[in-house]
């Protein structure tokens, strides 16, 4: 059975950067706002390079033990269970650490030796050093705007990665994505993209994060499934962005004018 590649619209030669990083056994850092296609890109690239993909969504509690592995008690014995990082290192998979800056500092320490020339993982609980499989690739994502100043990556970590910056695609590409993802016609897609563009320019709304491609895709899907256009935009674009009454009203007015 042939599994179809996930749909991905390339915008800045990012797949070339990925393939060359992979060829040179370099880890890759993907920076960019929420809903800008980072995860989709990684899924797509893992597929085209024929690699198994293991994704870990990092949060404040994510520790090196979660990644490397732990002993568990099984009947009268304790047995070692490899964590997802160890599995990827041994088997040669793409390991995607989503939102790496959220993870606990020991995670960063654990990956250091994997992200330089050594390409090895030290498992302290086993006293074992595992050399990475030649196809192992580490990818991390990071949202620089989110909680500005809070969670940063240290230069000594950042400089171990080849990095790519993701932005929301230009209007033409974004409309094409909406047509492909949601099956709406071009006209609707263009209108949604125009709404997105307008809201992105309204800095006075004080939004923590602005309209992502994801939100536009969601609105397009609701329209495609038969929800009235304005209601679809209110529910999929406006409401997820803010809880501020005034900001919501301004965005709704704008949507109603534009669609």
Ligand X SMILES: Nc1ncnc2c1ncn2[C@@H]1O[C@H](COP(=O)(O)OP(=O)(O)OP(=O)(O)O)[C@@H](O)[C@H]1O
Quote the strand ranges of 101-216, DSSP E.
Answer: 120-123, 128-131, 137-142, 162-165
Site residues for ligand X, 159-188, by CB under 6 A, read: 169, 177, 181
Query: Residues 21, 28, 36, 110: which binds ligand X (CB under 6 A)?
Result: 36
- For residue 123, the minimal CB distance to ligand X (Å) is 29
Burial 216-251 (b: 16+ CB within 10 A, else e): bbbbbbbbbeebebeebbbebbbeebbeeeebbebb
Q: Are strands 137-142 and 28-31 parallel, antiparallel or unpaired?
A: parallel
Q: Is 35 in the site for ligand X (CB under 6 A)?
A: yes
Size of the site for ligand X (CB under 6 A): 18
96 binds ligand X (CB under 6 A): no
Give the closest residue to 178 by CA, choosing from 47, 7, 6.
Answer: 7
What's the burial of 30, exposed, middle or buried (CB within 10 Å: 0-12/13-18/19+)? buried
By CB under 6 A, tell whether 62 contacts ligand X: no
Task: Indicate whether 210 belongs to the interface with ligand X (CB under 6 A).
Answer: no
CA distance 68 to 124: 9
Provide, rounded to whole angstroms, the least separation between the CB of residue 32 and ligand X: 6
Q: Which does 40 bind (CB under 5 to 8 A by kind): Mg ion, ligand X, none?
A: ligand X
**Smaller CB distance to ligand X: residue 198 or 221?**
221
Minimum distance, C-beta of residue 235 to ligand X, in the bound complex (Å): 17
- Please report, as ranges, the residues that interact with ligand X according to CB under 6 A: 7-9, 32, 34-40, 143, 169, 177, 181, 213-214, 217
């Amino acid at each position: 059975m042939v599994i179809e590649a996930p749909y991905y619209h390339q915008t800045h030669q990012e797949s070339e950067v990925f393939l060359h990083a992979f060829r040179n056994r370099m880890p890759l850092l993907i920076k960019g706002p929420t809903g800008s296609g980072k995860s989709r890109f990684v899924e797509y690239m893992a597929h085209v390079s024929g690699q198994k993909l293991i994704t870990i969504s990092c949060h404040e509690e994510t520790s090196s033990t979660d990644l490397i592995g732990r002993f568990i008690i099984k009947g009268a014995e304790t047995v070692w269970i490899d964590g997802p990082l160890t599995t990827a290192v041994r088997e040669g998979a793409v390991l995607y650490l989503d939102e790496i800056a959220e993870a606990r500092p020991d995670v960063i320490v654990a990956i250091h030796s994997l992200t330089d020339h050594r390409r090895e993982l030290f498992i302290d609980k086993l006293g074992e050093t595992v050399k990475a499989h030649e196809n192992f690739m580490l990818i991390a994502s990071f949202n620089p705007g989110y909680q500005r100043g809070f969670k940063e990556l240290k230069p000594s970590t950042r400089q171990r990665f080849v990095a790519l910056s993701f932005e929301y695609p230009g209007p033409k590409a974004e409309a094409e994505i909406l047509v492909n993802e949601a099956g709406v016609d071009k006209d609707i897609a263009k209108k949604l993209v125009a709404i997105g563009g307008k809201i992105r320019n309204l800095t006075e709304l004080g939004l923590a994060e602005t309209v992502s491609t994801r939100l536009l895709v969601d609105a397009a899907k609701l329209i495609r499934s038969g929800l009235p256009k304005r209601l679809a935009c209110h529910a999929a674009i406006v409401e997820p962005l803010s809880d501020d009454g005034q900001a919501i009203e301004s965005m709704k007015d704008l949507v109603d004018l534009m669609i």
